[in-house]
Amino acid sequence: MKRLVAIVGPTGIGKSRLAVRLAGKFGGEIVGADSRQVYRHLDIGTAKPTPDELAAVPHHLIDIIEPDADFSLAPYLELAREAIAAIYRRKKLPFLVGGSGLYVRAVLEGWRLPGVPPDARFRYNSEQRAVEAGPDGLYAELERLDPAAAQKIDPRNLRRVIRALEVQARTQQTFSSLGRREPPDFESFIIGLTTDRKELYALVDRRVDAMLARGLVAEVENLVKMGYDLTLPAFSGIGYRQVGQFLRGEMTLEEAVSRIKTATHRFIRHQYAWFRPADERIHWIDIKQGDSVVETALAGFLEGE
């Protein structure tokens, strides 16, 4: 049986650093599982691996598309499977690493999604409907057309609601009926990094300050100069939206930083909802225990213990 190692956990906890260390020690390559790190030019705000980390071991699915390109779970899954298959052909160990819980679970659980390309006109019209009448109307339509999909989609996640309606409109089949799961052809070992919540919040607050010191504002300014509209989905991630509001004069930099930290705390709670501490598939390790504990656990898995 092929083996795959996944490293999950909240943002800012050190997944990338640990992945580089383990991949170097166990002969691996890293497959990114982050919905924002796929975009070029978004470096500081997405906390991409450092140049030294990228040089230390091969990385895949980072810096692969422009910020104005359409991207979603379906193309990600196709690319991730291709990358993992290529890693196996090189007789290396794939490490799936990132903070996008949806992406990680989709790979680990063998999700198969409908290959329906995006329909720009349908999406624009749907977004206009949401602006004019509110997003609740679109969600009510999804509840009527595909109750099973509506149960699994957060009403506040407008992009996913529109995608479900888009697939139904293009195929005349419900979004929920087209999705299926096939057991993957690998055995996975899931490492979950965690720590005390208060300590984690302090950790990510320091990381936000470090991002500002490294030039996050200048990065966003440069993206605007390159002609990118900050309302693009690529910039919906934490940091870019708030800095954009600061650059437009809608708030002070101090207010923007405060909102980034608050939103990051909220995002961390959302990430723990994807991978719960009670999930027996995950080997949870407090970062205070040190890397040696992780290495010992992984070595046991690879040796078949």
Highest CATH level, class, for 120-178: mainly alpha
Q: For the sheet containing 186-194, what is the strand order?
A: 59-60, 28-32, 93-97, 2-8, 186-194, 282-286
Mean pLDDT of the chain: 92
Tokens of 103: 């992406």
For the domain made up of 197-270, give the CATH fold.
Answer: Helix Hairpins (1.10.287)
163 phi-psi bin (left φ>0, alpha ψ -120 to 50, beta other): alpha
CA distance 128 to 236: 18
Are 82 and 61 in contact by the 8 Å Cβ rule? The answer is: no
Domain 2-113+181-196+275-302, classified CATH 3.40.50.300, yes or no: yes
Confidence band, pLDDT 50/70/90 cuts, at residue 305: low
- Give yes or no for residue 273 having a pLDDT over 90: no
Q: Phi/psi of residue 94, each to 5°?
A: -80, 135
Q: In the chain, which residues fall in CATH 1.10.20.140?
A: 120-178
pLDDT single digits (tens) 103-130? 999 999 998 877 777 788 999 999 999 9
pLDDT single digits (tens) 184-234? 999 999 999 999 999 999 999 999 999 999 999 999 999 999 999 998 989
In this prediction the pTM is 0.82
